[in-house]
Amino acid sequence: MAMVKTRDGTHLYVKDWSLNGIRNRPVVLMHGWPLSADSWDDVALALVEQGFWVIAYDRRGFGRSEQPFDGYDYDHLADDLYDVMEAYDLKDAAIAGFSMGGGEVARYMSRHQGKRVSKAVLISAVVPYMLQTDDNPNGTPQAVFDQMLDGIKADRPKFFTDFFKDFYGVSMLSHPVSPECLTWTHTMAMQASLRATLACVKAFSSTDFRPDLAHFSVPTLIIHGTKDKTVPIEAAGRAAAAQLPQATFIEYEDAPHGLIATHRARLIDDLLKFLWA
């Protein structure tokens, strides 16, 4: 089991994948809430088969990483990313964040000046700002996040059963993923500590990443689904693209939040085109 010890002593579980041990063209993958690095497996395997070296790790409090009580703000999480990159001595790495993981990408670019990074990817990301405020009218009202927290505290397993249907765009007439995929996702979510699960809702819902975007100085890819109910595109993907006019922005028509599963083949193709460019 590969583990990286962070500056505050937290051990993070890391997947270190490369073809025939050839470690070049590194790509670091940050997973979404409330999942683990396993959620990236299909994408990671495809990237490795194309010659990339993939590092994917479980965020503190999630998956197989240690579960400290504190450290779930984005400064700590960006430091964890820095410590993983330092541990593997990565150079010219692409860093990709899905959903909550996009926040780590953004905060890393400002807090650590994009050190060791050559490209950045934001997929269904919470960047630049999820919360509805006077200067962010397209954001999500605080009451929605309060309801999430209440639901998790009341019955976390039931909350996630309902949550992942919207996550993947599942309805009576639409089944973009199998029941088994829903079960697998639910299992990943339940690996996380309750403390981390709740604290990260507060982190991704209230952190304003708009100042962080000014520090993006590398080629950036933004991908977002137009039917994302979890992180609506107007306040996320489109707003991020407006702040990063040089970025490549791709909208997936009718795609839900969990497009790393529902639109996996297209996502892999778009990622490879961007990484090889």
- Is residue 233 within 8 Å of residue 128, measured between CB atoms? no
From 124, 257, 263, 270, the catalytic residue? 257
Domain that holds residue 192: 3-276
Average pLDDT score over the chain? 97
Adjacency order of strands within the sheet including 117-123 = 3-5, 11-17, 53-57, 26-30, 93-98, 117-123, 220-225, 248-252
Q: How far apart are CA 221 and CA 255, in angstroms?
A: 17
- Is residue 223 within 8 Å of residue 139, measured between CB atoms? no
Distances (CA, A) of 112 to 15, 107, 175: 23, 8, 41
Told to judge if 228 belongs to the known catalytic residues of this protein, a careful annotator would answer: yes
- Per residue in 238-271, pLDDT (tens digit) is 999 999 999 999 999 999 999 999 999 999 999 9
pTM for this predicted structure: 0.98
Q: How far apart are CA 188 and CA 145, in angstroms?
A: 21
- Per residue in 164-217, pLDDT (tens digit) is 999 999 998 899 999 999 999 999 999 999 999 999 999 999 999 999 999 999
Distances (CA, A) of 229 to 165, 188, 192: 10, 20, 23
CATH at residue 260: 3.40.50.1820
**What is the torsional sign of CA 49, 216, 220, 57?**
positive
- Per residue in 124-161, pLDDT (tens digit) is 999 999 999 999 999 999 999 999 999 999 999 999 99
Q: How confident is the model at residue 1 (pLDDT cuts 50, 70, 90)?
A: low
Residues 6 or more apart whose Cβ sits within 8 Å of residue 183? none
Told to judge if 99 belongs to the known catalytic residues of this protein, a careful annotator would answer: yes
From 99, 124, 193, 205, the catalytic residue? 99
pLDDT at 167: 98
pLDDT at 194: 98
Q: How many domains does the chain have?
A: 1
Q: How confident is the model at residue 15 (pLDDT cuts 50, 70, 90)?
A: very high
From 58, 212, 228, 270, the catalytic residue? 228
- One-letter amino acid for residue 148 of the chain: M
Q: Which two tokens stand for residue 34?
A: 């409330």
